[in-house]
A and B are shown apart, each in its own frame.
Chain A
Amino acid sequence: MADPMLRVENLVRSFGGIKATDNLSLDVAPGELHAIIGPNGAGKTTLISQLTGQLMPNSGKIHFAGRDVTWLPSYQRSRLGLARSFQITCLLPDFSAADNVALAAQAHDGHSFRFWGAARKEKHLRDAAQAALMRVGLAKRADVPVSELSHGEQRELELAVALATKPQLLLLDEPMAGLGVTESARMVALLKELRKEVTIVLVEHDMEAVFALADRITVLVYGRVIASGDPDAIRSNEEVKRAYLGDQHVVVGHV
């Protein structure tokens, strides 16, 4: 394997007596779509938050693109090309869809201590925003305030915002959460396109989507990695079946 894009070594994070991340190690290769699954409370979002710097680990190391980023604040990781979408939609509610994306593009286009010129008239920022909105199918909704977008559209906008930061690595925290059947299908189609361009770490509950998309899957239970491998290996892994998939039969039933 080439040098990993993301390398997590022995990461530990506890909340009081609970170890939400328990000596976790993980490699993500450039170009792969790496899914992270696990039952509720397995520590998936905690892991993502540590990867993006919203949460600091107690110990362990995180390397991204050859750099130790363990203690970097989130805004600096974003500068390096790490982008995330949030499980619970996290947008600027009183801004339009285009503004949300343009601000993401602006963050990666020099500093923003410019006090005079009108930002909404900067053509290349608007164009970048429009392009990202087009990718996720929101081009026609550009001028609608976020608070008036449907839940599904907000999920897509989350993705457009992340894309506009021109990431090398995209961390998607349950992009399908709360989506209907058609919306989910659209999101899967979209992710299939995106994975050709950018390395993706996908946390998702929708097993069908995960097994359809992932190159590799890592299974978390109680903050620990209990298995990691390609979808076939995970599907046939006894421990995974027992700990997580056993009584649900989701994988067996749908794939």
Chain B
Amino acid sequence: MKFQINVRNVVVALIAIGLTLLPVYSALSGNIFILTLFTRIVIFALAAASLNLIMGYGGMMSFGHAAYLGIGGYAVGILAFEGIGSGFIQWPVALLASALYALVIGALSLRTRGVYFIMITLAFAQMAYYVTSGLSRYGGDDGLTIYKRSTFGGLIDLSNRTQFYYLCLACLFGGIYLIWRIINSRFGMVVQGIRSNEQRMQAIGYHANRYRLVCFVISGTICGLAGALLANNTDFVSPAGMYWTRSGELMVMVVFGGMGSLFGPVIGTIVFLLLEEILSQFTEYWALIMGPLLLLIVLFARGGIMGLLGRVNRG
């Protein structure tokens, strides 16, 4: 892969540097709020990047991706509630639970295509929402407060804002690197081929759904990690975090940034959450501005913000 100097890559590099240096700025300026805000942004960017893997590269429009945020979060929350505070247990459980959920949901949903796929993933996520609402031992509707963040045997202190931010950022960069390797691998080529023309891929010898399912599980697992981070960030998990509007927001972040571009979801998430933050200071009807903006992007900039910055090379 050749790295060329063009607008896209310069913007991506600047954002990466900006994200890396943000805690320094926060410390120098004494602006703690910006670090808190961006911790949240970085976590959601990881979730959006995972959704982009199936939506942008795999052509699977999952409308239930918030479920993984919830499952990852509840894994951490429930274990903490039961007295198991070690991240070395909590986090693998979060990943495993997300992967298992994705495996079951994927195996059932991938029998369908198009609108039906969107609807069935939505339905399963809503089911997860109602199931967690019914967990009365773990707070039910009201959610579950996490009194102690995951511990990693003194390696890293998640209660330290800066350390936690860098952990999230490392997960984001690691996740994007992993996705980059995947989409350029044999597996990734097959998945993108299936997005492009499923019939053709079957005819040359690929069992399309098997590849789709594995891709679906990888995506869900990465999002489960984002869920574990989010739970630690808010010290709280609740069914509301799995509601379909949250899944919709993740989709909007991906579309904003540019489906099927590696770094697009990061930009999309930054723009979405910053806009939400800024607009909501002026009006509680911030969605009235966000909505038309999304329409403009969908109508006039199919490649999202990344697309506006230059041609998307994919496939």
Q: A residues touching B (Cβ–Cβ < 8 Å)? A: 52, 54, 73-75, 78-79, 83-84, 86, 90-96, 99, 102-104, 106-108, 112-120, 122, 145, 161-162, 164-165
Contacts and interface: CB of A to CB of B under 8 A. Distances in A.
Given A52-B203, A74-B202, A95 B315 contact: yes
Interface string B178-202: 0001101111111011001101111
9 contacts: A75-B202, A75-B206, A91-B200, A99-B189, A103-B190, A103-B201, A117-B186, A120-B184, A161-B204
Contacts of A91: 197, 200
A165 B185 contact: no
Contact of A94 (B182, B185, B204, B314): B314
A71 to B, nearest CB: 15
Contacts of B206: 75, 107, 112
Contacts of A96: 315
A114 B186 CA distance: 6
A94 B315 contact: yes
Interface in B276-315: 314-315
B184 A118 contact: yes
A92 B202 CA distance: 12
B214 A95 contact: no
A145 B315 contact: yes
Contacts of A94: 196, 314-315
A104 B205 CA distance: 8
B214 A113 contact: yes
Contacts of B1: 118
Contacts of A113: 186-187, 214
Given A78-B203, A94-B315, A115-B185, 14 more contacts: A52-B203, A78-B204, A83-B204, A84-B203, A86-B203, A90-B197, A90-B203, A103-B193, A107-B206, A112-B186, A112-B211, A113-B214, A117-B185, A165-B205
A116 B197 contact: no
B99 to A, nearest CB: 14
A92 B196 CA distance: 5
A132 to B, nearest CB: 12
A112 B203 contact: no
B190 A73 contact: no
A114 B205 contact: no
A180 to B, nearest CB: 24
A114 B207 contact: no
Nearest to B200: A90
Contacts of B203: 52, 54, 74-75, 78, 83-84, 86, 90
B204 A115 contact: no
A-B residue pairs, 7 tightest by C-beta: A78-B205, A107-B205, A94-B315, A92-B196, A104-B204, A95-B315, A114-B186
A119 B192 CA distance: 12
B160 to A, nearest CB: 33
Nearest to A106: B186
Contacts of A54: 199, 202-203
The winner among A54, A84, A94, A117 for most chain B CB atoms within 10 A is A94
